[in-house]
Chain A
């Protein structure tokens, strides 16, 4: 790199694109007057900062090490998923859903499939419902494991990270077993699931459910009473239940602030009403409370998986409505009608009735909703993803105010954002 004197012009100037700059003048209304006069410091954090969990950029106004104002800047991972899905048929649009919140891929499939089923009025067989619940709860544990690992890493607990990824690997192996894919499974489809699970599935899940509670105990032994961890998390990033609701916060963050709101309990879907589980809540609303809620949620998910596995009925895994759901492979060779349906569904798709619906599931991060509108054609006329991280992240400025930068890192970790989920 050549240092440039003042009289020298940049040798690469010709090929340098014009970069549009956002100046402090544009953001004047967001910072205090002390920042304009130079009394406090404006500092840029991210988007390439390891503790922003992806590409989150924060503009911080700092008084010494204390955060006065925190202005999140998002959009670095915007991929136009909504626009893209509007250009694809209902079946083909589903692969985009995996790429939204890449730590909750099965949950995204479920949210999308449920929205399409609600729009066209499809029934899902009981076995498919049970399989959906098992996989989504496994995904919830996998997502919480990543969160636990990275959030603990943010407050300098290195070893937890390695243990969490070890167990997550087992869950991804189960996904690979059922769908052939570790992360982007697209296993849950409108009308059911892609195909029935292999025979090894039950043993794999039972082994996992048997092994996992001890592992959760191990994580808790590392963190729950660890004085260093308590120092970094107790009383940090407090938010009241009322503020949290007003800022649209949902999921474990809301439940850690004393609001008992879990869509699995409040508005059951996919047969969650059959299972006996608790919704862990805390009232403190700080980073530590959010940690406790998520760890407890992992244990509850294990309970749900076990019950769902015990109750899993035999039977078809896909709806028999051939106007919306492709026929099984075995039928295509012998039935002309099945072949026609298959061809029609994979070329022009199905026409959904005109109307609009909103359907939501409880993702590991909160309310994952899909607003789906159809104009009667084979493609979604408008699909909007109400992603939980987008709203959860809005509470960051309120939570971070008055804390140190080091605490800000712990707070970002405790919100559990996934930037693919924020930016869509």
Chain B
């Protein structure tokens, strides 16, 4: 762990519980989801101006927690990185929105809703962002199948064409 990251992490461990884990010099803290907003405010105050990434991992078929929401912060002034992981259960998955603290969380939380079905509570504009507005399901969940298309050749073109699912018929 970098030297000037140590006091920051110790400080956060005291408030939000720890311990912080470290793997290949990436430092990650587990934050309970009720405290996400508070924790984000605190790290922003500590000099992490940039939220580099906000994404999630699906541990299906595990149910509690099914998801880990990942926040990655970068401090431009101190040249440090720090990550949060927020466990979220599979039933009614929600996280509090942090888009009022880090403005780029706006689209990133929309992506989280679109891809994982994790709702950001208090988000100003929670619509799908990458998939069409009427899409069903959340593609990056592990129980969402990866679709395949049968390759059509001259000899079986029509046979496959008959059973080929076209969009919205």
Contacts and interface: CB of A to CB of B under 8 A. Distances in A.
A248 B81 contact: no
B140 A360 contact: no
A29 interface: yes
Contacts of B119: none
B1 to A, nearest CB: 15
A82 interface: yes
Interface in B27-57: 28, 49-53, 55, 57
A101 to B, nearest CB: 16
A246 B49 contact: yes
A266 B133 contact: no
B52 A394 contact: no
Contacts of A29: 124-125
A358 B53 contact: yes
Given A360-B52, A390-B107, A84 B146 contact: yes
Main secondary structure of the interface of B (DSSP, over half): loop
Interface in A89-142: 118-119, 121
A166 B105 CA distance: 40
A384 B169 contact: no
A248 B125 contact: no
Contacts of A118: 24
Interface in A245-280: 245-248, 250, 259, 261, 266-267
A80 B140 CA distance: 9
Contact of B26 (A74, A242, A266, A357): A357
B129 interface: yes
A61 interface: no
Interface stretch (A182-190, A212-220, A284-292, A365-373): A365-373
Given A119-B24, A266-B79, A381-B57, A22 B133 contact: yes
Interface residues of B, number: 41
Interface string A228-256: 00000000000000110111101000000
A232 B125 CA distance: 33
Interface string B16-30: 000000011010100
A130 B127 CA distance: 45
B149 interface: no
Contact of B103 (A30, A250, A367, A394): A394
A168 interface: no
A369 B72 contact: yes
B50 A245 contact: yes
Interface string B146-157: 100000000000
A423 interface: yes
A26 interface: yes
A21 B101 CA distance: 32
A356 B23 contact: yes
Contact of A74 (B58, B104, B125, B130): B130
A382 B57 contact: yes
Contacts of B167: 17
B23 A357 contact: yes
Nearest to A22: B133
Interface of B: 23-24, 26, 28, 49-53, 55, 57-58, 70, 72, 74, 76, 79, 81, 83, 102-104, 106-108, 124-125, 127-134, 139-140, 146, 167-169
16 contacts: A20-B132, A26-B127, A75-B129, A80-B139, A246-B104, A248-B51, A266-B76, A266-B79, A356-B26, A357-B23, A357-B24, A357-B26, A384-B53, A391-B104, A394-B103, A424-B130
Interface of A: 17-18, 20, 22, 26, 29-30, 74-75, 78, 80, 82-84, 86-87, 118-119, 121, 242-243, 245-248, 250, 259, 261, 266-267, 355-358, 360, 367, 369, 371, 373, 381-382, 384, 386, 390-391, 394, 423-424
Given A248-B50, A358-B52, 9 more contacts: A18-B168, A26-B133, A80-B139, A248-B103, A266-B76, A371-B55, A384-B53, A386-B72, A394-B104
